[in-house]
Chains A and B, each alone.
Chain A
Amino acid sequence: MKKLLKFAAVTATALSTSTAAIAADWTPPGPIKMVIAFAAGGGADTQARLIAEELEALHGWKIIPEQVTGKGGLNAVNALKDGATDGTVIGMIVTETLGYNMAAAKAGKPTDVTAITTTAGTQMAIVALASKGWKTFGDVIEAAKAGEDIRFGVMTGMLGDLAYIAGKENGVDFNIISVKGGKAVMNGLNAGDMDVGFGAGIQAKAVAAGDMVELASARSEPLKNSPDAPMLSEFGVDYVNETAFLFAGPPNMDPAAREAIAAAIAKVVNTEGGKANAFITKGFGGPVVISGDALDAALQQDFDSSGALIAAAAD
């Protein structure tokens, strides 16, 4: 699974050029409903709304955003499932919804939706307040071994499993606290209700100001803001979190619509100087655009490999 998305990205670029011609002719037959799987006002919601705004400005499409939150994006998937396949119904979720969450919930498979394109990855890191004095995740493990109770804030089931395995592999037992959304983890850390927690990029400002430190990267690559922070694999964790934001539509979507929308979104997020591009670069480490067959393959593999993590964290 490592480097999977990266590999996919290369293939996707090759594919997308050939279909650009068909895509250019497509226009939506009516207003487009955009299901947003994230709470209003958060980083992900802002990203979706900025993209919608720019799509409207660029192509003259009419986009109607609708919030369908909860159940790790599965509610949004349900909302998409029976939608019209002509490109008038799309939604923004994360790849984790179609991977880990579907596998854990035993509810569906990635092909229950038509994946359109990803927009951005995350800067998933283990974060703590600088005042704790920890420099890397190793210091946290030391503290736990010395008898300190460590509270670990997580915002998704997959991250909960990663935190559990990170403890188990090192012979310590964290008190894992699951909360709703990355903002809640930040608040918990600030209030002293948690000792460490996951941040998907929301921590960037506090890290830059020196109030927080990134103790480890939960991705397969070093973090942009803390390139020296160790990988979780250095602590015996064989799994990474490569969540990316994803646009999807109902199953069996019209291929022309799929390609046209994918191309339009890709253009919006890749256009430097655009609002969406600036936002993604600031909060999520820059655009990551994968679409077409490469995306389908990546999602399927993500789903298939989730079972191993779920099993590892089950006992």
Chain B
Amino acid sequence: MRKLSASTALGVGCIAFALILAFIWIPLDTETWLVERKRGRYIAGDSLAPTLAAGFILIAGVMLLFERQTLDLHPTRYNLAFIGAISIFGIVGILLMRWTGPIAASLFGADEYRLLRDTAPWKYIGFVIGGGTMVFCIVSFVEQRVTWRALWIALVAVVVIIALYDLPFDDVLLPPNGDV
């Protein structure tokens, strides 16, 4: 028996996912079946198209088991470490972007953040802190050292983006001010 190759594993994974999709997720989480009767006729139901997608994934999975692969590409532990770290920086950055403004407003503001979201300096707090943190962390991580230069670049980048988007356009809103 040959060693389990990455494409075989991927193939098996796809088949399993496609079957779960077609027989569990779609039937339980969709209102109508493949076809339904409406106004005296059969019409396509909401399950039909997702089931077709599941079919694509299923066929892909079966083909992966038989296809000859020249390169057996798969993520390594090293790749996982990288993307894990990047995900953390991204998530922290986006969370800060969303919440620092409202938190600052509830501590120091006269109004709730929702009403201040188009007023400087409140409207910049989230983007500066969240965006700055994201850029700074990623630069530092990629360089594998923490430098003042990275911090300056993060801050300059944030300020330039604000200058580019917020100052010239009255209608443009930076995150998170459009939907708080």
A residues at B contact (CB < 8 Å): 29-31, 33, 62, 64, 66, 84, 88, 160-161, 164, 168, 173, 175-176, 313, 315
Contact = CB atoms under 8 A, between A and B. Distances in A.
A30 B111 CA distance: 10
Contacts of B171: 64
B115 A173 contact: no
B39 A176 contact: yes
A31 B117 contact: yes
Contacts of A31: 115, 117-118
A30 B113 CA distance: 10
A164 B39 contact: yes
Contacts of A64: 171, 173, 178
Contacts of B39: 160-161, 164, 176, 313
B178 A164 contact: no
**The 10 A-B residue pairs with the shortest CB-CB distance in the complex, in nearest-first order:** A30-B115, A164-B39, A31-B118, A29-B115, A62-B118, A313-B39, A30-B114, A64-B178, A176-B39, A64-B173
For chain B, the bracket of interface size reads: 10 to 19
Interface of B: 39-41, 111, 114-118, 171, 173, 178-179
Given A160-B39, A164-B39, A30 B178 contact: no
B115 A88 contact: yes
Contacts of B111: 29-30
Nearest to A89: B114
Given A64-B178, A176-B41, A315-B40, A84 B114 contact: yes
Contacts of A29: 111, 115
16 contacts: A29-B111, A30-B111, A30-B115, A31-B117, A64-B173, A64-B178, A66-B178, A84-B114, A88-B114, A160-B39, A161-B39, A164-B39, A173-B40, A176-B39, A176-B41, A313-B39
Given A64-B173, A64-B178, A66-B178, A30 B116 contact: yes
B118 to A, nearest CB: 5
Contacts of A175: 41
A88 B114 CA distance: 9
B35 to A, nearest CB: 14
